[in-house]
Structure 1
């Protein structure tokens, strides 16, 4: 099964970013890696990352830790038809959504998460879906021209596609943006760049990106 092994966020300061992600979300470099970059970027970068958790208490706990570590709120945590969640922006500019489909807590709150999902904002859903199928990814869910989710292997990052403007609205930011996406995706597949300019690289050992 082909999927994303890890995502690399390009940030201005790797030390500060590593401290934030470890403190806020308990993330290490197995799924989210960091690379120093000053590539010009402005506005919405065309993607969001989501932590899918088991209950509302975990949403609140993760958001509280993120804010204490320096994140800012884009959308306060709230209930919706699909569950409970909120959106924050990390100090490096990356947008994170923390959400659950559960309505009530079933255990003491913690910072555990069940899935890390990368949502890419695309202009042409049909073309992008077909492109990724041709790269060997398997569609798990598909809702017409609105949303596509690919199957992810154990311990990998789940990939989903969303219309760019809809994704920006979901994140609580304007859809306009230009310059670098400031994210690189790693997998066992051959390197390529997708129709919306997202770059994929071959997975390399962690020691090579330290």
Structure 2
């Protein structure tokens, strides 16, 4: 059965990326691999960190900016809660969000959940593909958004319409070249309908649990 056992970002400078992600508070949760594969514009995915309250969003966004990230959407209230979006120096887009609209206590900077948001050209077709790979749908909003059950996986997988995801992140929809992302999990390697590559099993140690 397929599951997101690990995530590997392909970056131009792994040492610099490691420094950034340590400062961002992710530590060993991600694998990093050197790559010079051409890529421009929107890479078709984002990683979302779910946290407990707005002050934690502010702390993580602030840490990312201090470490060299570029702001895409300032942290602010929305219909769904509170969140902000940044682009890491390696080009990966990160969304930090909470369903809470105000703090309920002292801030404990802790990541509750990591969600991999894949932009799909056809959400329904990609849903069928992943169900065929053994994933179980946990939530679905028609052709707009699909979330799969994570089980014991350290990262939850979700599908979002490609154009809608770019709009949500505050970036132009166009992009070319490599996704610069490799997902580890499942019994065999495969590539999904939008070109996202999966490797058999976890090629690197699975992300450590949130502390």
State the TM-score, normalized to the length of structure 1. 0.94
For the residues of structure 2 that align with 1:58 and 1:152, how far apart are their CA atoms? 23
- The corresponding residue for 1:81 is 79
User: 1:183 Cα deviation (Å)?
Assistant: 0.2
In structure 2, relative to structure 1, the CA distance for the partners of 1:74 and 1:108 (3 Å cut) is same
SS class of match (2:23) = helix
- The corresponding residue for 2:97 is 99
- Report the number of matched residues: 205
Q: In the alignment, does 2:18 pair up with 1:18?
A: yes
Root-mean-square deviation (CA, aligned residues, Å) is 1.3
Is 61-70 or 102-111 further displaced after alignment?
A: 102-111
User: 1:27 Cα deviation (Å)?
Assistant: 1.5
- The corresponding residue for 1:181 is 179
User: 1:126 Cα deviation (Å)?
Assistant: 1.1
For the residues of structure 1 that align with 2:103 and 2:44, how far apart are their CA atoms? 32
Q: In the alignment, does 2:194 pair up with 1:196?
A: yes
Structure 1 residue ranges (4+ consecutive) displaced by more than 4 angstroms after TM superposition: none
- The corresponding residue for 1:123 is 121
Question: In the alignment, is the contact (CA less than 8 A) between 2:72 and 2:169 conserved in 1?
Answer: yes
Q: In the alignment, does 2:5 pair up with 1:5?
A: yes
Residue of 56, 59, 69 corresponding to 1:58: 56
Question: In the alignment, is the contact (CA less than 8 A) between 1:2 and 1:153 conserved in 2?
Answer: no
- The corresponding residue for 1:134 is 132
Question: In the alignment, is the contact (CA less than 8 A) between 2:4 and 2:153 conserved in 1?
Answer: no
For the residues of structure 2 that align with 1:72 and 1:87, how far apart are their CA atoms? 9
Partner deviation per Cα, 1:23-56 (whole Å, 9 max, x = no partner): 11x2133x31100000000000000000000111
- The corresponding residue for 1:28 is 27
Gaps of 5+ in 1: none
User: 1:98 Cα deviation (Å)?
Assistant: 0.1
- The corresponding residue for 1:69 is 67
In structure 2, relative to structure 1, the CA distance for the partners of 1:42 and 1:189 (3 Å cut) is same
In structure 2, relative to structure 1, the CA distance for the partners of 1:142 and 1:122 (3 Å cut) is same
Question: In the alignment, is the contact (CA less than 8 A) between 2:83 and 2:98 conserved in 1?
Answer: yes
Residue of 25, 31, 45 corresponding to 1:47: 45
- The corresponding residue for 2:208 is none
State the TM-score, normalized to the length of structure 2. 0.94
For the residues of structure 1 that align with 2:192 and 2:59, how far apart are their CA atoms? 35
